[in-house]
A and B are shown apart, each in its own frame.
Chain A
Amino acid sequence: MSVAVEARGWWGRWRAENQGLIEEWRRSLYRFRQSRLSVLGVAIIIFLLFVAFTGRYWVPYPDDAGFTTHVEIRLQGPSRDNLFGTDEYGRDVFTRTVWATQTSLIAGTVIVLVGGFIGIILGGIAGYFGGRVSEVIMRLTDIMLAMPGIFLALAITAALGPSILHAMLALSITWWPGYCRLVQAQVLSVREEDYVEAARGIGASRPRIIFNHILPNCLSAIMVKASMDFGFAVLSLAALGFIGVGAQPPVPEWGAMISKGREFLPYGWWYSTFPGIAMFLTVFGFNILGDGFRDVLDPRARR
């Protein structure tokens, strides 16, 4: 058996070493496919990705994503020309809603990636090395966690000045502590497992232990959290846009559109309704995906 292991290079070796893990992932994938709701989630997300990245080529009025005005058709209800109606400058709400998909997906990705990256690194360090480093990192995490996120994000965006970039930055800053604590706890529990002990015993290097043995075992927990978080990141960004400290005109963004549309209620109902539905669909897609992930990956929810 050991001959076969050596023959296949690092990839083969990694596969041989993590056979149990790979088998588990294979089962998870199977179970995931069994759940119709999760498959629906994947379908929604693929649809959204398609809309986000091709939308600008097929929307009916690409110019309306910017600062154009068509006073003669301002605040018109849904019609054949304007599927979702028009806004107060006569711009097509359908075009802007589709355009905003990209904004939200990119923003959500950035927030989760940046927040997750910082959190995983800090949490990994704190969990693996322990001692004073861990103490400092975890206290900082406590401080950040002591603050309901949106208040801090609000303060940061207010201080930096309202813009979508600052909103993303603010959310990334408030996002990492959750990952930090999750990864730290996972690493702490995995670190004492026998197989890590064994790897240490045969003299495996630290990076090797961390990347080959510890991180793969934290991966499922991180994936569950990240997929659930993606929806929340999109929601939070829209919330900041809604309050007025996120995306600024004329950038099409769902939260800002909903907020603007409020001013024209009850007459101009279409203005905020459609961006809201688009947003709900997005967040819903990611949440059912995350829920499916949790069902298959979280051992507590199994059986």
Chain B
Amino acid sequence: MDNDLLVEIKDLRLNFRTFDGISKVLNRVNLKIWRGDILGLVGETGCGKTMTALSIARLIPCPPGEIVGGEVFFEGEDVLHKTDEEMRLLRAQKLAMIFQDPTTSLNPVFTIGDQMIDIIGSRTDTSKASRLSMLGSLGSLIPTVRKLRRGARERALEMLRRVGIGDAAERIDDYPHQFSGGMRQRVLIATALSGTPSLLIADEPTTALDVSIQAQILRLIEELVDELNLSVLLITHNLGVVAKMCQKVAVMYAGVVVEYGSAIDIFKSPKHPYTIGLMRAIPTYGTKKGEIKGIPGTVPNLLDPPRGCRFHPRCEHAMPRCAEEPAPAPVAAGPDHEVSCFLYS
């Protein structure tokens, strides 16, 4: 396997059991993340972006979720067949995740210091990590634990300062509700990057924040990515952010990656009709009224998705085979540019 390939998802299929039946959330998802790249994953709400990301960390809740096919490799290792403990260590050491809503991602009844220390401490074996965490600050009464906790606290302070919380020493013993939204997201970034991760998964990291704060947070992420030499999976539906930050882009529609390629290719010469529609829908300065075109129709119901290509009912180039044949496999549309569409195969 290629050494520069950090994550590879092959033909991943994921179902969710719901009251109304089986929802086919992911249908043959293929995705590659190269070392040092920032990959933007874009698509409408509910198209499976978050599920794809969670499946890299094997965090899909099962039940109701169920991976029914495909493979996920992280640094060449098969994620789906690791033991729970191996998986926990992988998450602790190699993966960093930032979620959409910094308010609900922090535990409200513990200080941020306590939570950061626990997470920093979790990068060792389970029993040691539990000993460090279970008693909270009372654990410091035990000499060995005190040493561990002090080390972790130092690291937490260092990271807090790095993400721009100047008075870290005073704020580390505050509770999450005492921070503003932007500050909480900084705390979460500090927490996520306090180890030595090789991949950062950022799931709409700025959606829940004020517009004025968004840019600051994105800049912070960019800086840290450079500094720590991280690869990033950036989930967003803000194409502007993608254009600015990402080297690679994957476009998802209804549980399928329809197009994957370099940011330049995707923006300058999109191939898939859905991507083309998406690009047309971006308003730019000087766009006149009525010139923005949406994509007609609505997102399909995943309980009973359209046969064949899932986009064909909304596609202006739909051909008979789009509805009849099984979903199109990705084909090369250029160097490192793949598209799943019968127009090109």
Contacts of B19 in A (CB 8 A): 27, 30-31
> Whole-angstrom distance from the CB of B16 to the nearest CB of chain A?
12
Q: Which residues between 36 and 57 of chain B lie within 8 Å of chain A, taking CB atoms?
A: none
A30 to B21 alpha-carbon distance, docked (Å)? 13
> Whole-angstrom distance from the CB of A63 to the nearest CB of chain B?
55
> Whole-angstrom distance from the CB of A210 to the nearest CB of chain B?
30
B interface residues, tally (CB under 8 Å): 1
A30 to B20 alpha-carbon distance, docked (Å)? 11
Q: Which residues between 18 and 48 of chain A lie within 8 Å of chain B, taking CB atoms?
A: 27, 30-31
| Residue in chain A with minimal CB distance to B64 | A303
| Residue in chain B with minimal CB distance to A30 | B19
> Whole-angstrom distance from the CB of B52 to the nearest CB of chain A?
22
Interface of A: prevailing SS: helix
Contacts of A31 in B (CB 8 A): 19
> Whole-angstrom distance from the CB of A297 to the nearest CB of chain B?
14
Contacts of A27 in B (CB 8 A): 19
> Whole-angstrom distance from the CB of B285 to the nearest CB of chain A?
36
A82 to B243 alpha-carbon distance, docked (Å)? 88
| Residue in chain A with minimal CB distance to B20 | A27
> Whole-angstrom distance from the CB of A230 to the nearest CB of chain B?
28
> Whole-angstrom distance from the CB of A38 to the nearest CB of chain B?
17
A31 to B19 alpha-carbon distance, docked (Å)? 9
Contact with A along B5-42 (1 / 0, CB 8 A): 00000000000000100000000000000000000000
Contacts of A30 in B (CB 8 A): 19
> Whole-angstrom distance from the CB of A19 to the nearest CB of chain B?
16
A27 to B19 alpha-carbon distance, docked (Å)? 8
> Whole-angstrom distance from the CB of A33 to the nearest CB of chain B?
13
Q: Which residues between 132 and 156 of chain A lie within 8 Å of chain B, taking CB atoms?
A: none
A211 to B19 alpha-carbon distance, docked (Å)? 29
A101 to B19 alpha-carbon distance, docked (Å)? 39
> Whole-angstrom distance from the CB of B345 to the nearest CB of chain A?
41
A58 to B268 alpha-carbon distance, docked (Å)? 88
> Whole-angstrom distance from the CB of A224 to the nearest CB of chain B?
20
A7 to B338 alpha-carbon distance, docked (Å)? 54
A31 to B18 alpha-carbon distance, docked (Å)? 12
| Residue in chain B with minimal CB distance to A27 | B19
A182 to B341 alpha-carbon distance, docked (Å)? 56
A54 to B104 alpha-carbon distance, docked (Å)? 57
| Residue in chain B with minimal CB distance to A31 | B19
> Whole-angstrom distance from the CB of B273 to the nearest CB of chain A?
32
> Whole-angstrom distance from the CB of B99 to the nearest CB of chain A?
20
Q: Which residues between 113 and 151 of chain B lie within 8 Å of chain A, taking CB atoms?
A: none
A59 to B19 alpha-carbon distance, docked (Å)? 46
A11 to B19 alpha-carbon distance, docked (Å)? 27
A298 to B19 alpha-carbon distance, docked (Å)? 16
> Whole-angstrom distance from the CB of A295 to the nearest CB of chain B?
14
A27 to B18 alpha-carbon distance, docked (Å)? 12
> Whole-angstrom distance from the CB of B58 to the nearest CB of chain A?
21
A30 to B19 alpha-carbon distance, docked (Å)? 9
> Whole-angstrom distance from the CB of A11 to the nearest CB of chain B?
26
Q: Which residues between 210 and 227 of chain A lie within 8 Å of chain B, taking CB atoms?
A: none
Contact with B along A165-190 (1 / 0, CB 8 A): 00000000000000000000000000
| Residue in chain B with minimal CB distance to A303 | B64
A268 to B308 alpha-carbon distance, docked (Å)? 77
> Whole-angstrom distance from the CB of A35 to the nearest CB of chain B?
14
A223 to B60 alpha-carbon distance, docked (Å)? 35
> Whole-angstrom distance from the CB of B65 to the nearest CB of chain A?
13
> Whole-angstrom distance from the CB of B30 to the nearest CB of chain A?
31
> Whole-angstrom distance from the CB of B87 to the nearest CB of chain A?
24
Shortest Cβ-Cβ A-B pairs, 3 listed: A27-B19, A30-B19, A31-B19
Can you list 3 A-B contacts (CB < 8 A)?
Answer: A27-B19, A30-B19, A31-B19
